[in-house]
Amino acid sequence: MKRIACILIALALALIPGAALADKTATIAITDTIGTLNPLLMDNTEIVKYATSLVFLPLVDLNRDLEFAPQLAESITTEDNLTFTIRLNEDAVWSDGQPVTSEDVLFTFLCWSSPESGNTGLNMYAIEGIGDDGYTGPGATGISGISLIDEKTLTVTTKWPTALNTFCYNYGCYLLILPEHILRDVPKEQLLSCDWFNAPTVVSGPYFIDGFDLNHYVHYTANENYWKGAPKIKNLNINVLDASSLPSGLQAGEIDLIQQTMGAILLEDYDYIRSLPNLAVFQGTAVTNQSIFINVNNVPDKRIRQALLYGINRETILEGLVLGNGEIVDAFLCSASPYYDASLGVTAYDPEKAARLIAEAAADGTPTTITWHVNSGDTTFVQAVSYIAAQFSDLGLTIDVKTVDLASLMIAADNQEIQVMSVQYTYAPVDPYTDVAWLLSDDGWTHYVNEAVDEALLESQALTDEAEITARYLLVDKAVQEDVPMISAYVLSSLGVTSQRLLNAVPDVYGTFLNVHEWDIAD
C-alpha cells in the first residue's frame, strides 16, 4: 500500500505545472565573455544587453521585423521630436508585486546621469536638464526635462530635435529600468559596484540570476511572478564557449540556442551545422557591416581613398570567404533599413581605375604605402585584407597589414594612430544617425568633416516623413561614396541555431528574447 501511495503521489506531482517546470533547462551558447550584469554599466554590446535584460526589462525593444515592440512601456510617442511621452504598461509589476512606475523611470535616468556614479553613457547629455557632460548636479532628485504625469505616464524632453526612432533606440532599448523602491537608499557612488545586481532580489523580467562566472556562464531561474506570464522553462543557462566547440556541442544536444550577435559560428562550420538533423537553422537579417574606416587626416589624398573603393573585389570576398552569407552595399545602410535607397547603387570593381588614381596621386608626391589595422580576432577578414594587399601590390599601392587585438585596435583608432582599419560594426537599421553622426565627424574614427553631411544628418532628426528622412540619408551615402571616409566590404548575414527540442524560439539579430517566457522544451 505504501508503494501504491508513493506512485500516486508521484503521478499527482507530475500533473502540477510547477513540478514540471522545475525539470526544464535550456542552454544558450555565446562566444565572448560577459562584461557585467549591472545595467548601469551597459556598454551597448548585445551580450551585456541581453544578459541583463532577462532580469531588468527595457521600455521597448526591436523585434525581428525592426519594429519597436512594447516591453515595460506600452508606447513612446512624440508630436514635435522634442518632447516624448512614455506610457507604461498598466500590468507591469516588479516580482514583489509593486507596480513599475514613472518614478522608476526617472530614478533610472538619475542613476545614469549622477556625477556620483560617474557613468556618462547612453547620450544623457541630450536630455534637457542634464549637463553637456552627461551629469546632473550632485544629489539631484529631479531632472527639468523629465515630468511625471501620473504613476504610469511621464514625458522626456530633449535639447534638440531627435527622431522618434533615435529616442526609442537609445533610451527605449538600452535604458533598463531599475526598482526605485529597492535601490533609492543605496548611495549613488556605490551603484556601479553594487553586489545587489549580481543577485537581484526584485526584477521586472522573466528571470532571476542564480549564479555566475562572467568568463564562463550565467545561470538564471524563472521569475514565476513575471507579469507577462511565468516562464515555461525553469532554468536558463548562458555558457561562454569557444567558437570551435559549437558544432560538437550542438551535435551532442548540449546547446539549445545560438543567437547571431552573441554567438559567432565559424563560417567554415555553417554547412556541417546545417546538416545536423537535431537542429533548426536560421539565417539572420543582414545588418552587421564589415566596415573599413579611413582616417582622412592620415590618408588626406581622396584619390588613394577612392582607389581602395574601386580596387577591392568585394563580390569575390563575399562569395569566396563569406560563402555568400550577406550582401554588398555602398556607404553604410543595409537593405533591411527603412532608409535604404537602392538608387545609390554599388560601386563596381574597377582595378584599372584604381591603378590610374594611385598613379596620379603618386605623380603629385602622395605616398603610396598605407598601414591597415585589422582585428586579429576576425580571422575571416584577416584573410580578406591579406588578399586585398596582394591585389593592390599589382596596382601600385603597398598595404602594410597590422593584425592587433580588438582592444588595441580601439585604442589606436581613438588616438588617431590608424590610416585604415577594418572592424565589424552594426548600424541599427532603424537608427543609423547615432553611429553615423559620430563616425563622420572630427571626433569619430574617420575625422571626416562635411557641412552638407552634418546638415543632412541634423535634418533627419527633425523630420517625421520616412521618404524625406531617406532622402537625407541618401545625400550622406553619396558623400561617403564620393569622398570615401569609409567602405562597406560586405554586410554579414550570420547563422542562428536552435535545437529541435527548444520550442517557440527563433534566433535573429533582433527580437530573439522578446518571448523567452514562452519558450518550452519538447517532451
pLDDT digits (tens, 9 = 90+) for 133-145: 999 999 999 999 9
pLDDT of residue 11: 39
Contact 286, 313 (CB under 8 A): no
Q: What is the pLDDT of residues 26-80, one digit of tens each?
A: 999 998 889 899 999 987 678 899 999 999 999 999 999 999 999 999 999 999 9
Average pLDDT over residues 411-420: 93
The amino acid at 486: M
Segment 245-273 shows an average pLDDT of 94
| Grid coordinates given for 135 | 551629469
How high does pLDDT run on average in the chain?
A: 92
- The structural domains of the chain, with segments of one domain joined by +, span 56-197, 205-283+495-521, 288-492
| Stretch 267-291: mean pLDDT | 93
Spatial separation of the C-alpha atoms in residues 150 and 23, rounded to whole Å: 42
Judge whether residue 301 has pLDDT over 60.
Answer: yes
Among 3.40.50.12780, 3.10.105.10, 3.40.190.10, 3.40.50.720, name the CATH number for the domain at 288-492.
3.10.105.10
Span 199-215, pLDDT tens digits: 999 999 999 999 999 99
Phi, psi angle pair for 166, to nearest 5°: -65, -45
CA gap 461, 458 in Å, rounded: 5
pLDDT over 50 (residue 300): yes
Exposure of 219 in the CB half-sphere (CA atoms within 13 A) = 7
Residue type, 15: L
Tens-place pLDDT, residues 448-500: 999 999 999 999 999 999 999 999 999 999 999 999 999 999 999 999 999 99
Nearest alpha carbon to residue 205 among 357, 100, 82, 295: 100
Confidence of residue 22 (pLDDT cuts 50, 70, 90): low
- Between helix 351-363 and helix 302-311 the angle, nearest 10°, is 160
Options 3.60.70.12, 3.40.109.10, 3.90.76.10, 3.30.1600.10; CATH for 56-197 is 3.90.76.10
Task: Give the long-range contacts of residues 271-278, CB within 8 A, separation 24 or more.
Answer: 272/247, 273/246, 273/247, 273/495, 273/497, 276/247, 276/250, 276/251, 278/250, 278/251, 278/253, 278/499, 278/500
- Domain 205-283+495-521 carries which CATH code? 3.40.190.10
Return the pLDDT at 14.
Answer: 40
pLDDT tens-digit readout, 158-193: 999 999 999 999 999 999 999 999 999 999 999 999
